[in-house]
Amino acid sequence: MPKLAIYVPKPQMRELEKWRKKINFSQVFTRAVMQEIRDRTRLTEESADDVANAARHYKRLLSSSAGSEEVVAAGHRLGTRHVLDCHLSPEVLRRLMDCNEHLSDDDVEAIEKAIGDDKKSLTDVLQDEGHNDDSYPTWRFDAYRGYLKGVADAWQRVREQMKAL
């Protein structure tokens, strides 16, 4: 029978020695490794198309749920506040107005730069409400889309007021 050596840290080895005569470590190890292999094999057997279809499905469900409205609203409030508090430079405003709804990596970078120090407070508020990467993987994008909408809405009001002056 082939052999395989495994290394166990000393504190755990002392505990294992107490059970050496009662437990067949080879059987326990083999069962555990085979279960790990089965688990990993199941994950890799799924086709890329199946995974992509599931991702599209859940993204659609999550972004149409009531939870997404809270996330978008939080981003919207921050975007509106940044415009009304004169937090954004004209260059940043122009860049944000060029962002599209699908948010490229460059758009995300521009938004995060505009949000600046408020990113942590926005993240904290949303995570306190239960929005995180595990339960809602697209929450940041929804918050950023809300931020852009808030900037656009507030900027439209400011532009109208500037024309009236």
Could you read off the pLDDT of 88-123 as tens digits, one per residue? 999 999 999 999 878 899 999 999 999 999 999 999
Residue 54 located in a structural domain = no
Residue 80 located in a structural domain = yes
Number of domains in the chain: 2
Is 80 found in the same domain as 127?
Answer: yes
Is 141 found in the same domain as 110?
Answer: yes
Residue 131 located in a structural domain = yes
pLDDT band at residue 133 under the 50/70/90 scheme: confident
Alpha helices in the chain (DSSP H): 10-19, 25-45, 48-63, 66-84, 90-98, 105-115, 118-128, 139-164
Is 158 found in the same domain as 80?
Answer: yes
* pLDDT for 159 beyond 70: yes
Report how far residue 58's alpha carbon sits from residue 39's, in angstroms, rounded to the nearest whole number: 23
Is 41 found in the same domain as 69?
Answer: no
Residue 155 located in a structural domain = yes
Report how far residue 133's alpha carbon sits from residue 139's, in angstroms, rounded to the nearest whole number: 7
Is 86 found in the same domain as 26?
Answer: no
Is 75 found in the same domain as 38?
Answer: no
Residue 3 located in a structural domain = no
pLDDT digits 0-9 by tens, 65-96 = 556 888 899 999 999 999 999 999 999 999 99
Report how far residue 30's alpha carbon sits from residue 36's, in angstroms, rounded to the nearest whole number: 10
Report how far residue 137's alpha carbon sits from residue 148's, in angstroms, rounded to the nearest whole number: 19
Residue 75 located in a structural domain = yes
Residue 60 located in a structural domain = no
Is 153 found in the same domain as 75?
Answer: yes
Is 103 found in the same domain as 23?
Answer: no
Residue 55 located in a structural domain = no
Q: Which domain covers residue 30, as residue numbers? A: 10-45
Give the residue carrying structure tokens 């997404």. 68
